[in-house]
Amino acid sequence: MALVLQTDYAWPDTSIERGVIEAAGHSFVAGPSVPSPADEIAALVAKHRPAAIMTCWAQVSGAAIAAAPDLAVVHRIGVGLDNIAMGEATRRGVLVTNVPDYCVGEVADHAVALLLDWARGTVVFDRDVKAGNWNPAAARLTRISDLSIGIVGFGRIGKATASRLLAFGCAVSTVDRGRETGMNVRAVPFEQLLGESDVVIVHAPLTEQTHHLFDAQTIAQMKSGACLINVSRGPLVDNHALLAALDAAHLSGAGLDVVEGEPEPPRALIERDDVIVTPHIAFSSAASLGELRRRSAEEVVRVLAGLPPENPCNQART
């Protein structure tokens, strides 16, 4: 029997995870739902010395990984790996796994929803009508099929977003990585995508190389009047650069499911009428969360049984 520690969770309880783990003969311990600071997570790991760590948003630092000498796997209950000390895990022979495809449709749908809100004014006019106004003459709306869309990050979710936008009749492009897109999507240089796109949708992972990918210089290269949509990770976009571009009317709007500084993003940015914000929920639906939690626990059970993981994210030698 092994002990599995779940650091945090973004749903009402851990019943699904606990059920799968305990049915396999292992014990299960969960931390608080709200992620604790990294040093507290390390202390929690040192206290329980688990064979497996499951984490949602909490930072699993190198110190946390070092605090569990029998640790076999750190599992990200989600897709992104920016909250796990990958180098330390690999160095210590600890597998890192995730569930890369549980919410492809949800995130793609959310990106398109933010685009539609920007183009058709649904959020802005809803607020206006509820404030007591009825002014259809104020509408300055956009025909969706006339839009050129640039998608930065063309993995599973980027492709799903493209398929939805192609159905609307949009012209879609992505960054040229030297290979065919396999769809009616142009592959163009990054600078060309920025200059031609009415809407840029960010689906890229957060790494050292992509941190503040959209800074003052990059945003300045975007088409005048364009909209920037980020449904990936907040730090891909420099808040100050985005705010300056909106103030200067270089960009006409932004759709943000993620914001650098969340869960307390800068009020000067998120309170603007030309910014649509949701609280990092693009991944969420009843179906996606149930699938995520079950598959996460099953992956941990698989590794603890000595079987190869379905979704290894590093080259740890076990």
Annotated catalytic sites, by residue? 233, 262, 280
- Beta-strand relationship, 226-230 and 148-152: unpaired
Kindly tell me the sign of the dihedral angle through the C-alpha atoms of 183, 184, 188, 193.
Answer: negative
Computed on alpha carbons and rounded to an integer, the radius of gyration of the chain in Å comes to: 21
Taking the C-alpha atoms of residue 317 and residue 164, their distance in angstroms, rounded to an integer, is: 40
For residue 122, give the 3-state DSSP assignment.
helix
The DSSP 8-state label assigned to residue 183 in this structure reads S
The rounded distance, in Å, linking the Cα atoms of 193 and 158 is: 15
Burial 195-228 (b: 16+ CB within 10 A, else e): ebbbbbbbbbebeeebebbbeeebbeebbeebbb
- Which position has the token pair 């994210």? 313
**Token digits of residue 221:** 């290269």
Residue 192 DSSP SS3: helix
Given a contact cutoff of 8 angstroms between Cβ atoms, the answer to whether 216 and 241 are in contact is yes
Distance CA 210, CA 214 (A): 8
CA separation, residue 12 to residues 9, 15, 102 (Å): 8, 9, 19
